[in-house]
Structure 1
């Protein structure tokens, strides 16, 4: 029977000194973890769960079956792995603190802006410039809606939408991500000046996409969507345990990317909030986000203005979801997410800066220690 192990951080500290050094810096971020659940799953069922701290983790891992011991050791090493800066063109994006990715949709049916930036390219350029000025480290440009029920778009039309926006943003010197699942669009976007591919299908939709990314040698975001290989990203959702199932699925997409020749250091992962997941499943994934550092890659998190916020706030419409969007972005930062993808850049950057100030202060706060 197939066995899997998962090491999930469950206890956190403001800084290592509050645990007398018995804490790890989670994936090189500003988050410190001091307690961990080591979970053994067999045939889809959790059969054992141990609690550990950094000074007892070796003892706990020694109780695991031999065939998964190496996997557990790799996950533990990944949890303590500090990721180097991500190079996007001339810009170096540090991953030791949360970075903000601003969304620029050039679609006629975006749930957040209703096609405003497709119809008015000057407004799109102004919006992109404002996001960069407000502190967006990356601009994510997309030409196809991926909301539930959206119709597939021909790649030629998608290219016509995104390339002018990429060229305009490139002229600003911005770091640019292309949000697409089509190889031809990826190729055209990279040639126009994009630096990163953000694929909501995890490179599963288009059989040529992994080859394009590998040849370009660019970073890529692999997102989880249950219907990634088909047209409907939201279809086929059937989870025994959404957290572990998404973890396993992302590991499989990561392994496929590596097999295609994509460099390990160029891969980021995204749990895919809102894609084929219920409200409860989205909440479970957000609460378990620190677990996904065990896969050994930086995490991108995107929940800005999504339906789950409305579901938790009396069905607030899209334009009234700022508070919930910031709450989720901050929760992702507490989970160690290196990049948060948002519509409201200025507000999120301000929230990030205050959060970062608190984390910095915690590292020098020894008032609760004797002596």
Structure 2
């Protein structure tokens, strides 16, 4: 039996809502808070702690269920950040937002940053490498006992575009995420706390992103909640350009992102990760109303 057949043949596991995260009768909305100088669409806007905390509080006031704090850009071609710098950027912001009652996630590939963020109140670890960038991440997650987002990932940002090679992208991503879950559980991570992310834009070309978005139903057969991070990404800009809108910069893609949020929610996503919270919150509410009308 092939790896793909093995994953598909396994009985469907459906884990409960991850403990420690807000509950809702709709897809959750995670607001992006980049505390970096070089993120692809808003780098530098919230690089100072006070600016970042104020932005995080604003995202929560707009309705974000979770505020995701990241101190290292993962845009294509981005260079790594020193561990001390990432800690200095993220931990004070996580601490202040958690003190204010915000459900905060930390967007990091590094176990020491994840540990420090949880110690000051982070409710979720969002790792775009799915534990591949730092072998210490699995044990840290297991010890922390908080929900963990494992993203499909093949290579660091500076070289990830060279690894966008798939036979069947949905089948390949499904198998690779399943392998990640197996390894994480061997490291002691509670499977009931795992959320999976297909990694749109990470070692993916535009056609791969759309195919994965359309294939969420297959990915859901792994039995885990799915997070979709499409906000302002290249495949959205490409679709707008192909539709006659021309070259739309990342900051002009929020309405289109909200449309993708609705599609993701209708496809069964557990959470969408976005820059513009209000628009996507409206979108996932519409998706929930639409789904309810079909029952």
Using structure 1 for the length normalisation, give the TM-score: 0.74
Report which of the two structures shows the higher radius of gyration computed on alpha carbons.
1
The RMSD of aligned alpha carbons is 1.9
2:40 aligned partner: 111
The 3 A distance-change label for structure 1 pair 71 and 346 is closer
Distance 1:170 1:264 in 2: 25
Instruction: Give how far 1:94 is off.
Output: 2.3
| 2:289 aligned counterpart, secondary structure | helix
1:270 aligns with 2:207: no
Distance 1:355 1:3 in 2: 34
Distance 1:128 1:336 in 2: 26
Deviations 1:202-223 (A, max 9, x none): 1011111111111111111110
After TM superposition, the structure 1 = structure 2 runs for residues 269-288 of structure 1, keeping only pairs within 5 Å, are 269-288=196-215
After TM superposition, the structure 1 = structure 2 runs for residues 1-371 of structure 1, keeping only pairs within 5 Å, are 2=2, 4-5=4-5, 72=9, 74=11, 77-78=12-13, 81=14, 83-88=15-20, 92-94=21-23, 97-119=26-48, 121-227=49-155, 232-314=159-241, 315-363=247-295
Instruction: Give how far 1:328 is off.
Output: 1.0
Distance 1:3 1:329 in 2: 31
Deviations 1:47-103 (A, max 9, x none): xxxxxxxxxxxxxxxxxxxxx5x95250xx34xx3x433332xxx422652000011
Instruction: Give how far 1:131 is off.
Output: 1.3
Structure 2 residues without counterparts, runs of 5 or longer? 242-246
The 3 A distance-change label for structure 1 pair 281 and 126 is same
The 3 A distance-change label for structure 1 pair 299 and 251 is same
8 Å contact 2:4–2:171 — kept in the other structure?
no
Instruction: Give how far 1:270 is off.
Output: 0.3
Instruction: Give how far 1:312 is off.
Output: 1.2
Distance 1:303 1:285 in 2: 11
Higher RCO (C-alpha 8 Å, min separation 6): 2
Using structure 2 for the length normalisation, give the TM-score: 0.92
| 2:272 aligned counterpart, secondary structure | strand
Distance 1:236 1:338 in 2: 27
Instruction: Give how far 1:319 is off.
Output: 1.3
Q: Number of matched residues?
A: 290
Instruction: Give how far 1:234 is off.
Output: 4.2
Instruction: Give how far 1:355 is off.
Output: 2.6
1:43 aligned partner: none
